[in-house]
Structure 1
Amino acid sequence: MFMRSQYTINKDFKYMKGYRDRHGKLCTLVKETEKTFMVDKSPLEIIDDSIVRIGYNLKGAMETSKRLLGNIYHHPVLVCPIQRIVLFPTQSAKHEECIWFNPNHIKRTTSHKRQTFITFSNGKTKIIRAKLCSFNSKLQIAEQLENMTRENRVS
């Protein structure tokens, strides 16, 4: 699989997950609507690099999310206010098995053997180890953050 040194999250981004390479370095598997590739950075580095490109940083995005959404676990982050890209984690962002999803590409979620079956905008699917109600709650919170930041920007 092709390894990139850099990546900026864009409107085609569906999800990403961290993986250790053969040397033990944390890299990232990125899935876009039409492409799959590895990036020689951790998921948090990719998110931070993408946010820095538009003038702020991951720490600030997380603080904004906490202020707007209150005391919840696993805050989503607004990565690009121009393209309205919000990402949400399946678990703690520091956990290596965390998967970051873009809610814009999630078209349907269903329960499958106590896991979540996700159908994406391009018709592809993925099963993750998470209860449907937990995953859907995180999806709704991410959509809520996107709505709140859109409303604040217009006001």
Structure 2
Amino acid sequence: MDVRSRHLINEKTVLLTGEYNDRGELWSRVIEGEETFLIRKSPITVIEETLLHLGSNFLGARRSAKYLLTPTRMHPISVNPQMGILLFPTKNIKCHCNIWFSLIHVKTINPVGINQIEVLTSFGHTILIDMSERAFNNKRQKAVQLQDAITNNLNCPLNFYLEPKKGFYISKNPKENNYSLEKK
């Protein structure tokens, strides 16, 4: 069993979910590419540490999503907007069985039964979850809306105001061992 103490979410991260070890500690089960492994930290801690490495934090990412989206519960999180890495939760984020899916890796979903779906992801993974197709699609759509809002904001042209060259020229006068000030 591959167990790591440190890991950052990246473009190959398909999902994170909580899993208790034999001592009752909440760890993260990660599917990344074709691998699956455990991290000795909760999913929220893994997300928080990734965001901190990118100049943000979990609370800030949640506040940003709440600001950019209409009021809703269980907001998606933008982890790395430049790389298109957004995560959306399937349940309350405090629930250990919540799954954080990466938006870019969710390919299709198929209803299996009443309130149960299969989520087909990149790298050929199939994840069976207890959730209605409608509820999952609503959460996925919120993540798409967040991605669109951030993309639009990143593509917004920036306006710069260049001031004409003004100011002072300061130079040292070696003969008098002092500085002279000239207006430009």
TM-score if structure 2 supplies the norm length?
A: 0.82
Q: Which residue does the alignment assign to 2:29?
A: 29
Q: Which residue does the alignment assign to 1:134?
A: 135
Q: Distance in 1 between matches of 2:123 and 2:36?
A: 13
Once the two structures are overlaid, the 10-residue window that deviates more, 116-125 or 87-96, is 116-125
**Residue 32 of structure 1: CA displacement?**
1.1
Q: Which residue does the alignment assign to 1:143?
A: 144
Q: Which residue does the alignment assign to 2:39?
A: 39
Unaligned runs of 5+ in 2: 157-184
Q: Percent same amino acid at aligned positions?
A: 34
Matches within 5 A, 1:31-110: 31-110=31-110
Amino acid at match of 1:123: G
Amino acid at match of 1:142: A
**Residue 76 of structure 1: CA displacement?**
0.2
Matches within 5 A, 1:12-27: 12-27=12-27
**Residue 144 of structure 1: CA displacement?**
1.1
Please say if 1:122 is aligned against 2:126. Answer: no
Q: Distance in 2 between matches of 1:112 and 1:68?
A: 33
- Please, what is the CA RMSD of the aligned residues? 0.9
Q: Distance in 2 between matches of 1:108 and 1:33?
A: 17
Amino acid at match of 1:79: V
**Residue 81 of structure 1: CA displacement?**
1.6
Once the two structures are overlaid, the 10-residue window that deviates more, 32-41 or 116-125, is 116-125
Q: Which residue does the alignment assign to 1:152?
A: 153
The runs of 4+ residues in structure 1 deviating greater than 3 Å are: none
Q: Distance in 1 between matches of 2:84 and 2:9?
A: 11
Q: Secondary structure at the match of 1:17?
A: strand
Amino acid at match of 1:40: R
Q: Which has the higher contact order (CA 8 A, sep 6+)?
A: 1
Amino acid at match of 2:57: N
Amino acid at match of 1:29: R
